[in-house]
Amino acid sequence: MSHTFILKRATFKVIATLLIGFANLLAQAQETKVRFTLDWRFDGPSAIMMLPIARGYFKQEKLDVAMDAGSGSASAVQRIAAGTHDIGFADTSALVEFLGNNPTAPRIQMVYMFMERSPAAAFALKSSGITKPSDLQGKRIGAPVFDAGRKLWPIFAKANQMDPMKVNWTNVDAALRETLLVRGELDAITGFYYTSLLNLEARGVKESDLVVMRYADHGVDLYGNSVIVSAKFAAENPQAVRSFLKALNRGIKETIADPAAGIRYLKEREGTIDSGLEERRLRFFLDNFVATSKAKALGLGSLESDRLKSNVVKMIDAFGLKQAVDPALLFNESFLPPQAERKF
């Protein structure tokens, strides 16, 4: 074999390696970076993001998604408004409250409604004698100030013919809420159904010993969490938003079909979780608030405009907002995947 042939072959290999490296760099350069925030810590429900990340669905859409845990919907909304994050999960009520109290803040829109019902709920021990919403009048109720159940209390009270002012609220840390109820230091608490129920069980309380009043079952027809996005980011990167929702939608459908898979990916990210507990939490989340009969009829991500309008009117009244929030500007359906892709 001649030296010339060997040299040519070596040169070809070098060029080929350089071309492959250049192609990889070009592909990476074409990816849009997305800074994403959860509304809460990494637990069962966050599997709907972990699954599409782990299976590469965002990468397939040329998105480089960096995900951070959250500390409540209000915090998630503030992150989007401040520009530290581009897309996130947040409760509808938290977004409405922020927009109503900050009229000059950067615009934020909902682009995908994935929780068709609000997960807010009130909890009491049966031994307390509380059996129905009206029994909560005059009682000591504990929750963090940012808790959705506490924020939405005026709507829950009105729906159940109660005076919203005739309760004694106690500010408590989210980590202590259930413990204080078990100790008898509180008569009731509010929290997300799938969070407080399992936290109470972890403290030795059986579901049969609890009175659980889910707001959605007691006249409160509110939407829950949605995907929110900075209007600026959406205007500058419309295809990135469409691609994000396409990958997320695929991930939610596959998580509904196989929750255990979602938990496996969550475990890879957060090795300290109790997989059995978080799978139960995820199933409560999906069965009661995501994969509902209305969601099946409309398709994931959609909402009913008249219902959203009614929600906003109730929230404006309950929160005493500085200015009205226009429901027509709150939800932007133009980024949704086709309905056929959102059916499950």
- DSSP letters spanning 287-305: IIIIS-HHHHHH-TB---H
CA nearest to 249, candidates 295, 284, 280, 282: 295
For 323, the token pair is 């200015």
pLDDT in tens, 303-316: 999 999 999 999 99
How many domains, the chain? 3
Residue-range definition of the domain harbouring residue 200: 120-217
Q: Tell me which of 198, 217, 236 is where a domain ends.
A: 217
Same domain, 239 and 324: yes
Same domain, 9 and 106: no
pTM of the model: 0.89
Please give the pLDDT value at position 249. Answer: 98
Residues written for the chain: 344
Please give the pLDDT value at position 117. Answer: 97
Same domain, 52 and 71: yes
Please give the pLDDT value at position 151. Answer: 95
Task: Write down the H helix ranges in 203-302.
Answer: 231-236, 238-257, 259-269, 275-285, 293-298
Q: Which residues contact 314 (CB under 8 A, 6 or more apart)?
A: 155, 222
Same domain, 104 and 233: yes
Give residue 23's pLDDT band: very low, low, confident or very high (50, 70, 90): very low
Cβ atoms 198, 285 nearer than 8 A: no
Give the full edge-to-edge strand order of the sheet including 87-91: 63-68, 32-37, 87-91, 225-230, 108-113
DSSP bridge partners of 87:
36, 229
Flag whether pLDDT at 21 surpasses 90. Answer: no
Same domain, 101 and 242: yes
Q: 19: helix, coil or strand?
A: helix
Flag whether pLDDT at 26 surpasses 60. Answer: no
What is the domain-level CATH number for residue 236?
3.40.190.10
Please give the pLDDT value at position 27. Answer: 45
Please give the pLDDT value at position 8. Answer: 57
Please give the pLDDT value at position 57. Answer: 98
Flag whether pLDDT at 4 surpasses 90. Answer: no
Cβ atoms 289, 224 nearer than 8 A: yes
End-to-end Cα separation, the chain, in angstroms: 62
Instruction: State the chain's mean pLDDT as an integer.
Output: 93
> For residues 101, 104, 107 and 110, what is the CA-based torsion angle, rounded to 10 degrees?
10
pLDDT in tens, 29-55: 589 999 999 999 999 999 999 999 999
Cβ atoms 3, 34 nearer than 8 A: no
Flag whether pLDDT at 6 surpasses 80. Answer: no
